């Protein structure tokens, strides 16, 4: 459940101030609130170096610092983990002794993102080089 309280205070001089406070599943950046539901996940990357779709991008992630991303293969083995994800997953493994530093093969992978306010987001991502 989300609650957003905004108070508008206007003085006799014509100066207005906006104070906002949010509860539970949102963060406030200046006068704009971003709810965890605001995150937009793309489900496809093609890390071939052409500059298009080379990284797993999550829109509005910058407003949820220290979000943890975990990526799993179809067998449930973790292949990538980052405790401060900043849209830099390019289909290269950094977990699992056998795969560290290697490009992951084309296919469907599953991710879990735990954001700043501890909400869990899960989905799938397709890698096609």
Are residues 55 and 77 both part of a single domain? yes
Report pLDDT for 98: 78
Are residues 65 and 92 both part of a single domain? yes
Half-sphere exposure of 58 (CA within 13 A, CB side): 28
Are residues 30 and 45 both part of a single domain? no
Are residues 64 and 92 both part of a single domain? yes
Are residues 43 and 3 both part of a single domain? no
Are residues 77 and 106 both part of a single domain? yes
6's CB contacts (< 8 A; 6+ apart) are 18, 19, 20
Question: pLDDT tens, 11-47?
Answer: 343 433 344 444 456 566 555 566 667 899 999 999 9
Are residues 3 and 64 both part of a single domain? no
Question: pLDDT tens, 89-102?
Answer: 999 999 987 788 99
Predicted TM-score (pTM) of this structure: 0.74
**Residue 110 · residue 123 · CB < 8 Å:** yes
The number of distinct structural domains making up the chain is: 2
Look up the domain containing 47 and give its range.
39-127
């Amino acid at each position: 459940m989300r609650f957003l309280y905004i108070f508008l205070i206007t003085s006799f001089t014509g100066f207005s101030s906006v104070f906002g406070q949010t509860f539970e599943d949102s963060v406030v950046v200046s006068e704009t609130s971003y709810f965890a539901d605001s995150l937009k996940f793309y489900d496809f990357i093609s890390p071939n170096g052409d500059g298009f779709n080379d990284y797993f991008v999550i829109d509005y992630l910058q407003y949820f610092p220290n979000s943890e991303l975990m990526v799993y293969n179809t067998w449930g083995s973790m292949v990538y983990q980052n405790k401060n994800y900043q849209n830099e997953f390019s289909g290269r493994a950094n977990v699992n002794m056998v795969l560290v530093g290697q490009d992951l093969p084309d296919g469907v992978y599953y991710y879990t993102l735990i954001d700043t306010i501890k909400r869990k987001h899960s989905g799938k991502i397709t890698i096609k080089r």
